[in-house]
Amino acid sequence: MRTVMDGRRASLILKYNGKEMGTEYLSKYLMDFTYEDAAPGEQDSISVTLDDRDANWQKDWKPVFGDKLVAEITVVNWDKPGQKAKLPCGSFEVDSIDVEGPPDKVMVQALALPLEGATTKQTERAKSWEKVRLKTIAQDIATRAKLKLVYSASVNPSYERLDQSDQTDFAFLVDTAMDEGIAVKISGGKLVLFDEAEYERKPAVLDIVKGESGIMGYTFSESSTNTAYGSCVVTYRPPASSKKEKKKDSSGSKTITGKYTLPNASGIPILRVNERVETVAEANRLARNRLREHNKQSGRATFTLDGDVRLASGITVNVKGFGRFDGKYIIDRARHRFGVSQYVTEIEIRKVLGW
């Protein structure tokens, strides 16, 4: 399907089980297409809503769970004459089917996680990992999920022992990686791990300027409960393993303490965390990453923009013309919507932390 405006053209290519839905068909029957480039901790998805006046999707064309959808958005002459750019959305498998009426329409949602690998997000497991690195854990889970592993973090933490206790593989991996400041998502048939701090340092892809940039709407959010902290202190007191050990050390188990402090943090609240750690180095690392996780909640915004294939989760943008909200932001989530008459991109962003 194509959307034409002022000599510009946006086209959607949609393949179902390898067969392309032609432009003529989409022009007549497509009601809405949404590609969600998901936030860390989630998976990408697409949804397609079609006019089913002929009841084809309720009869011979009835979707089956696991059917494959491949989507791509192309723009021509969009920002300037002669320009051509593409946004490959990836490959997805049908996860849900809904029919409404009258008039009849069918809504198909497809996810980036293959159906045969869905147990990694659905089934809770108990497993002990010993003398293992994060990348090894990720590779093991990616294999079970039928995904290719993309590990783009520069660090690969090691562990003497980790216990997965009644957690799904994906939840366990997300929690473990988060403690190391590493984000996890499922996208385009891949299990992706990346360091958000490294992505924050990358150059901004574009500027979003008030009064320009095809802005249709925006919000900026502030809350006293999401006030940024200036430092984080992690403390953990291991339990004594036996009476014999207690006699050797009458003072009991030694408390492990770690801390991470931002520059010029005097007078700013301290985040205090009590979690299990094995060493001071681990406590210091956890303090930094817990501080990042909390401070990411402040400085958030959303924009609805004229469609832009450059906007994707994990890239940075400069926001200008909004006073104290100006600055460099990273995109958490990008949602590309392709309707009857317009191609629109919605983004959820947060200010980069810079450390």
Dump pLDDT digits (tens) for 322-344: 999 999 999 999 999 988 778 99
* pLDDT tier, 250 (very low <50, low <70, confident <90, very high otherwise): very low
| Token pair of 183 as six digits | 């984000």
Residue-level pLDDT at 221: 87
Domain ranges of the chain: 9-112, 117-197, 202-221+299-350, 224-236+255-297
Tokens 């010029």 correspond to: 264
Tens digits of residue pLDDT in 134-145: 999 999 999 999
3-state SS, residue 294: helix
Q: Is the pLDDT of residue 223 over 90?
A: no
Residue-level pLDDT at 264: 86
Residue-level pLDDT at 252: 53
Mean pLDDT within 251-258? 79
* pLDDT tier, 148 (very low <50, low <70, confident <90, very high otherwise): very high
Q: What percent of the chain has pLDDT over 90?
A: 77
More confident residue, 225 or 60: 60
For residue 105, what are the CA distances in angstroms to 42, 95, 111, 211, 328? 28, 17, 20, 38, 41
Q: Is the pLDDT of residue 251 over 80?
A: no
Residue-level pLDDT at 355: 84
* pLDDT tier, 1 (very low <50, low <70, confident <90, very high otherwise): low
Nearest to 16 by CA among 100, 144, 106: 106
Enclosing H/E stretch for 297:
none
Domain at 202-221+299-350: CATH architecture = Beta Barrel (2.40)
Domain at 117-197: CATH architecture = 3-Layer(bab) Sandwich (3.55)
Strand partners, 193: 151, 184
Enclosing H/E stretch for 276:
none
Nearest to 105 by CA among 51, 41, 143: 51
Alpha helices in 3-133 (DSSP H): 23-29, 119-122
CATH of domain 224-236+255-297: 3.30.1920
